[in-house]
Amino acid sequence: MTRQEESVGLYWIYTLASLAGIVLFLLFKPEWFWVMLPPFCTYFVKAMRWM
């Protein structure tokens, strides 16, 4: 089987946007920062092509 190469640029954009969301939540609603952790971790793993 051949493996299709997929672009990871969009995943990096989502990762950085999630990181910005984490920072904003930490600044304004620190008790809710964990809400942004699942998308950050998911898109980081996909951007690194570990999944």
Q: How far is CA 25 from the centre of its chain?
A: 15
Domain ranges for the chain: 9-47
pLDDT at position 50 is 93
Q: Are 39 and 18 in contact (CB under 8 A)?
A: yes
pLDDT at 1 over 80: no
- Number of Cβ within 10 Å of residue 19's Cβ equals 15
Higher local confidence (pLDDT), 19 or 2: 19
- Number of Cβ within 10 Å of residue 15's Cβ equals 21
What is the band of 3 on the pLDDT scale with cuts at 50, 70, 90? low
pLDDT tens digits for 4-50?
A: 667 899 999 999 999 999 999 999 999 999 999 999 999 999 999 99
